[in-house]
Amino acid sequence: MYLLLSLIFYVSIFSDLPDRGEAYPEYNRAFEIKLNDGIEAFYNTHWVEARSIFRSMKDQWPDDPRPHFFESMMPFLEYFFVDQSSELANEFLEKSEIAVELSEKRLSASPSDTTMVLMLSGLHGYRGLVAAGQSNHRVALSSGLTGFNYTRRLLSMDSTRPDARIGRGMFYYMVGSIPSGMRWASNMVGLRANVDDGFNELKMAAESDSYISNDALMMLMYLYHKEQRFEESLFYAEKLTGRLPDNVIFLYKKAEIHREIGNINEAINVYSSIERKNNPSLASITKKSQENRIELEKNLIRVVND
């Protein structure tokens, strides 16, 4: 399988919308203000506020896929970094399907719309990640191929674009990590890549001076952890939480990495910081952090007493 988000790389495309007057006839200052407010709330995991903003936008601009995209990314992030439950997976797939449909409709009406190509590349990629997480490799491969078709359209525009590198990195990782028993399927259609190819593309995207670098950092943190390369995962976790100190999902992931490495005191400190934030949108993370902190502190006391 292969991974994401972000912070979500689509922030960058909202600051450079193509042909606003033609491709986005309904685009106006009110939409931009609401979208930016929603994105800021999303990044800070203030999700009650973010949902309220995105839902009001869907009512006012029902044909725009971007509010649907960001709302779908809430269960996606929680699924990948906190709780890999089928409920969260299904919620993401259901919500993201609407964003896919609206994006495809808009791209059909305006084939040169780079924003929609970017969005469809990411959406299909993320859907593939969730399918892979649920051990449905056939769907993961199908979604990855569809997403990569959009990514190739981006590559034809500018192969050094950070967003294109993320698309390549995600796809290369997916192909490189397909179980050996299913490699014949990818080989049949001429798809060959390895995990390190994916990491290299993501690292180049992470070094860019754009919001996309946050998305690349998140993916590097997650994928290195998946590969059990914990020190490298922690390196990118530190970078990501340094930029986004209020995001309790990323903080929780950093605490888990510290714990697996054996940095118990550091893990306790991060869990404690999550408790102090007491994010009302993600009460489950606060509870898990408290439980984990208490467990680690009890273990430390036992070690001292022994």
The residues, ordered by sequence, that sit 6+ positions from 90 with a Cβ below 8 Å of its Cβ are: none
First vs last Cα of the chain: how many Å apart?
43
The domain ranges of the chain are: 10-227, 244-306
Give the integer Cα–Cα distance in Å for 33 and 31: 6
**Is it true that the peptide bond before 5 is cis, omega within 30 degrees of 0?**
yes
Q: Decide: 234 and 260 in contact? Cβ < 8 Å.
A: no
Give the integer Cα–Cα distance in Å for 98 and 181: 33
Helix, strand, coil share (%) of the chain residues, nearest 5: 75, 0, 25
Residue 260's pLDDT is 95
Architecture of domain 10-227: Alpha Horseshoe (1.25)
Give the integer Cα–Cα distance in Å for 83 and 115: 30
Average pLDDT, integer, range 233-253? 95
Confidence of residue 304 (pLDDT cuts 50, 70, 90): confident
Give the integer Cα–Cα distance in Å for 68 and 106: 14
Q: How does DSSP classify residue 98?
A: H
Confidence of residue 150 (pLDDT cuts 50, 70, 90): confident
**pLDDT tens-digit profile of 161-214?**
676 677 777 777 877 776 565 554 445 445 556 788 889 989 998 988 766 788
